[in-house]
Structure 1
């Protein structure tokens, strides 16, 4: 009877405060395996990179790959934070220095329809006693955001039959590294009993001792490095999987050294220093967060959004802004601190009657959203905050909407710009249902503001 250990991490999202303990845990388990002449496989399921962290932002994720190299993963896949949070050129070079294989079966270059050069469809690992373990990987398909970034992202169920058929007869154990989410994982388990093990991520779900569906073992280890997945597979003399013990090990129970905190703070300090060195503009006044100051940060950003999107109207919310920008030199660190969100702009085209409906949705939700806490979907702030229009007016008494001072014509077409977050949250359905939305890549909203400040207030 052979035992094979599989360790998995996922959705770290650059929460490097847990990395020293995770690294120590993974390396210790590897040393134990070598000492006991056992096979151990270590994988990451994506979203290791998140540009909310200053070091990730400053290095376009390269620093994260340096950290991953420390544990020598056998294979990793990408999440949407790597795939959409990176410009195409950045993603094409993200893994240049990686000492591990990147597996990904559903992403292709939009022009050539070929897989990216940095990815492999699958990998086979042979254990100490000759058991062949096959690894496949798929990431969450978001065509609306991958396509304008130059990628052709395919849906898992369209590709899995061929991927599974191609690999199943070559291996004894078939493992899917999934950055698809718990619902998709369960559906795959019901549809493909040929898969032995699905390692799940993306929806940040946690299976402390696993879940079995249709004979397929599922495992998942939460988010932010709060857990590490630890699976022990038992294999008989014919290399058939007979049992799997699944655990999600809490990071809080792992060994911690006094120097860990210094290392964690060092990542933050290094990131801030690198970003501070990149100056952008020199502004003659403070850009304030409040509503009473003469120069508001949200007004400057609304103007920047209109410039980038080439629209006359823009809509944003105050909760996006986490810090003011002070008079004087502006650098990338200030922009990142103020707008840490991995959000892109969208240009939305609506008929006039739908513009009116959208504004009514926003006005109806205004009081509710003012102090409403928002988590996820690219938002890295605390609350949604106040809605601000530029180029739009709403007459609450008469329930009338004016566009650039003129009444909205119901059958005319109108174009405005905002952040993609407005499309993903459930409060303004008119954007997705009635609108034609164009995603603007590759800039994040902070880059859009930075370019505008640079053009208006260049450094002498």
Structure 2
């Protein structure tokens, strides 16, 4: 029988503390497997995450160089590549890649075609002549892909036709999915013509895989903590006769003495590159203390209002991880303070709905003050205190004031906040009743940086 192995990684999120072990494993395991069969190495997206200073400083291109060193065969993108980069940045992210990028459900609305840096599928031929078809899909977030200049399609709009067409051309058909486990399970039910779904996005770990409707599902967790392998055994007619999936715990792989220096080197280089980007000259320290004369969050609220061109803004203190000291401000300080890949949204609400939104915030205020938040672009520890600018709340009389005046329940009001406020479940009025406009391509740190550069120039 022919033995065909897929080695897969996913959702590294720039956690380069595991990268030296992963790179060595991919290299040695590929050479070992190649002696007795064929091997295909894939990454399923979210390899890039701008929380890491080197990723931020290079717009993710340093990550692509690391992937080149690991000799991946094919990769796809996750939402961190697709939304965490401006369109122009994504269009050049893979300029130096020595691997193929697959993605079937992203299009440029101007050209009505896929971007030049990817193709929807690939057919590879093994040493034994087996034809392997690979299709890639990424999580569809039209609310954020659209304002960033992309047309993102729902997978099942495209996948059935692609699977039916490719199934006739290949012996093995694999979906590279950055869609999440629930989507993968539905796809397996609807499209049993697939042989394997290599999964990611929801950071699920399937240590021994999972068979659903005859389709083998595999997934390797998050942050490079595991590496996945799928082994297929094929007969002389190139038909799959047996399959198995398993994961390798990265922590159990051998640590080399030089690993710590390499990992620290990535951080040091990123900090150095960002430190060289000087932004502003502050005459005072912006402190995390809300009562300070020069409060960091209150200065950022001004920046957010200015970018959104609104009279009011809302943020939470948990976004701010460090203060910004007096003197020359550089991109490294802004990144340390606000590492989140968050964009701003401009929210338009009628007065009655704005009243409801503020009461939602007040109801959750004490709960959120020490509430730990994970994911959805948040890179801090706790949500923290909710802070308004341009809005006041009178708890005794349950009154909401806009610029010091009573709300008109029929009038429309516009405020600016971070997209995170729409994604967390605590303020449903934003998503249900708001007319929401995503402001691309800046992250919140870029908005603050531009404000400081304008008001406190070098």
Structure 1 residue 165: Cα displacement: 1.7
Contact 2:232 2:242 in 1 (8 A): yes
Instruction: Provide the residue aligned with 1:30 in structure 2.
Output: 30
Q: Distance in 1 between matches of 2:110 and 2:371?
A: 42
Q: Which residue of 2 aligns with 1:18?
A: 18
Displacement of 1:292 in angstroms is 2.6
> What corresponds to 1:212 in structure 2?
211
**Equivalent residues, number:** 458
Question: How much does 1:412 deviate?
Answer: 0.6
2:182 maps to 183
Partner of 2:327: 328
What residue in structure 2 maps to residue 230 of structure 1?
229
In the other structure, the counterpart of 1:423 is 422
Aligned counterparts of 2:198 and 2:181: Cα–Cα separation in 1? 10
Alignment of 1:40-119 (within 5 A): 40-119=39-118
Shift of 1:243: 1.1
CA contact (8 A) 1:45 1:178 kept: yes
Report the equivalent of 2:3: 3
Deviations 1:29-84 (A, max 9, x none): 111133x1521100000000000000000000000000000111110000000000
CA distance in 2, matches of 1:31, 1:161: 35
Structure 2 residue aligned with 1:353: 352
In the alignment, what sits opposite 1:392? 391
Deviation of residue 242 (structure 1)? 1.1
1:121 aligns with 2:120: yes
1:303 aligns with 2:329: no
Partner-residue secondary structure (3-state), 2:176: strand
> C-alpha displacement at 1:166, in angstroms?
2.1
Instruction: State the 1:435 CA deviation.
Output: 0.4
Structure 1 stretches of 4+ moved >6 Å: none
What CA distance in whole angstroms lies between the structure 2 residues aligned with 1:257 and 1:231? 27
Contact persistence 1:37–1:128 (CA under 8 A): no
Name stretches of at least 5 consecutive residues in structure 1 with no aligned partner: none
Whether contact under 8 Å (2:3, 2:36) holds in the other structure is no
Give 1:406-421 correspondences, 5 Å limit. 406-421=405-420
1:432 aligns with 2:431: yes
SS of residue matched to 1:89: helix
- Secondary structure of the 1:148 match is coil
Normalised to the residue count of structure 2, the TM-score between the two structures is: 0.99
Assess if the C-alpha contact under 8 Å between 2:284 and 2:327 holds in 1: yes
- 3-state DSSP of counterpart to 2:146: helix
Q: Which residue of 1 aligns with 2:134?
A: 135
Contact 1:66 1:98 in 2 (8 A): yes
Q: Conserved in 2, the CA contact under 8 Å of 1:124 and 1:135?
A: yes
Q: Are 1:457 and 2:439 an aligned pair?
A: no
Contact persistence 1:110–1:147 (CA under 8 A): no
Q: Distance in 1 between matches of 2:244 and 2:163?
A: 23
Cα distance between partner residues in 1 of 2:54 and 2:98: 20
Q: Does residue 1:266 correspond to 2:265, yes or no?
A: yes
Q: Is the 8 A contact 2:7 2:42 kept in 1?
A: yes
User: Aligned equivalents of 1:231 and 1:71: distance in 2?
Assistant: 18
Is residue 192 from structure 1 mapped to residue 184 from structure 2 by the alignment? Answer: no
Gapped regions of structure 2 (runs ≥ 5):
none
1:277 corresponds to? 276
1:437-452 correspondence to structure 2 within 5 Å: 437-452=436-451
Q: CA RMSD in A?
A: 0.6
- Residue 113 (structure 1) shift: 1.3
Taking the aligned partners of 1:354 and 1:235, their CA distance within structure 2 comes to: 60
> 1:245 deviation in Å?
1.4
CA contact (8 A) 1:283 1:328 kept: yes
CA offset at residue 291 of structure 1? 2.0
